[in-house]
Amino acid sequence: MNIVLSGYGRMGRLVEEVATGRGHTVIGRVDIDNVSDFETLPAADAVLDFSGPGMLPALAGYVKRTGTALVCGTTGLKEPDMEILRSLAEYAPVIYSANYSLGVALFRHLLESLPAFAKESFDIEILEKHHNKKVDAPSGTAKMLLHTIDPEGERPVVAGREGIVGARTKGEIGVMALRGGTVAGEHTVYFFGEDETLEITHTAASRRIFVAGAVKAAEALCGKEKGWYSLDDILFA
């Protein structure tokens, strides 16, 4: 596979290492100093994007021009950005996930199968921890877990508590972020009940778990029809 890296930071470099180790060839590396390369780079089999939301217009232009399959993992995207991303499915096969690890896919499935009483009888809170270089909060994964628990977005979300905030209201979900050191990513969903607590935690020991999933997604998207694909289509097909 010929691939283009959109974003050549920690994730981009690791994607290069893993992808070349699997026999793929990197034909372009686009970052803050050479964004305009997207106007001239030839088509590739896949472009893997781990950058920042500001990269999206140039990346979208490249996908529209060349029809190159897109694996996007950038977090901090707002709804208008997601609309742009979804519109690219008219031009190429596209996949987006805020977390390409198998363990978080399993976590999501566990949350999807929660019995109704779990949401009614327990106070649910989410805590995420990441390294001190992470720029967005809460993490895309925390938002994805929140969306899985509350797909319609009906529950009040509390992003921090300070001062006399009053007692916790029934149904609210706290989403808290800790930052420090080199933590690759940890997410816990708490179910606080009467005299008992259930915690489900996913711990990323390294970024390799995300990269392995993203490269696998690129390999699977290669040769697929244009359209919008989910990680489940790829990992569990």
Ligand X SMILES: NC(=O)c1ccc[n+]([C@@H]2O[C@H](COP(=O)([O-])OP(=O)(O)OC[C@H]3O[C@@H](n4cnc5c(N)ncnc54)[C@H](O)[C@@H]3O)[C@@H](O)[C@H]2O)c1
Q: Establish if 76 lies at the interface with ligand X (CB under 6 A).
A: yes
CB of 16: closest distance to ligand X in angstroms? 11
The answer to whether 134 is a known catalytic residue is yes
- Minimum CB–partner distance for residue 109 and ligand X (Å): 17
Contact pattern for ligand X over residues 25 through 44, marking x by CB under 6 A = ------xx--x---------
For ligand X, the binding residue among 55, 63, 94, 127 (CB under 6 A) is 55
Instruction: Report whether 118 contacts 148 (CB < 8 A).
Output: no
| Residue 70 CB contacts under 8 Å (≥ 6 apart), including other chains | 46, 47, 49, 59, 63, 85, 88, 92, 93, 94, 95, 221
Cα–Cα distance for residue pair 176/158, rounded to 1 Å:
8
Should residue 51 be labelled a site residue for ligand X when binding is judged by CB under 6 A? yes
> Judged by CB under 6 A, does residue 218 bind ligand X?
no
Which of 1, 4, 5, 11 is close enough to bind ligand X by CB under 6 A?
11
- Asked whether position 97 contacts ligand X by CB under 6 A, the answer is yes
Cα–Cα distance between 70 and 118 in angstroms, integer? 37
CA 79 – CA 111 distance, rounded (Å)? 23
Angle at 11 between CA 6 and CA 17, to 5 degrees: 95
Interface contacts to ligand X, rule CB under 6 A: 7-12, 31-32, 35, 50-52, 54-55, 73-76, 97-100, 207, 210
